Amino acid sequence: MRGLSLALIALSSTLLSGCIVRTAADVVTAPVKIVGTGVDAATTSQSEADEKRGRELREREEELGKLNRRYDKQMDQCRDGNDRACFEARETYSEIQILLRSIAPPPPPPARES
């Protein structure tokens, strides 16, 4: 019985020491993990910034397409004599001009060497 008790004590102390060491390691590395997570959340990689810019540009271009279709429809109605459609077409045209200013022009073609 005494031998079993000694074996149990030796086994539990070994397991307990491993648990304490693991807990101590977790406590020591926790601040580093927390700071690393905060830095990752606070910084944006170049590819993420490019994706965001591309998404915003696509959304503006989609909106421009909708405005152009609405403008064409309003102009057709205006030509048919609908004064209200003429007024709305002018407003839509103004929206198109404002939106065009926010869309960057495509880059110029590369220069050709002579």
Helical H segments across 1-114, by residue range: 2-42, 46-79, 83-102
What was the pLDDT predicted at 73?
96
> Quick one: average pLDDT of 51-70?
91
**61 has a pLDDT exceeding 80:** yes
Q: Which residue has the higher pLDDT, 16 or 108?
A: 108
Q: Which two tokens stand for residue 13?
A: 């102390």
d(CA 103, CA 59): 10
This prediction has a pTM of 0.52
**pLDDT above 90 coverage of the chain, percent:** 33
CB atoms within 10 A of CB 48: 10
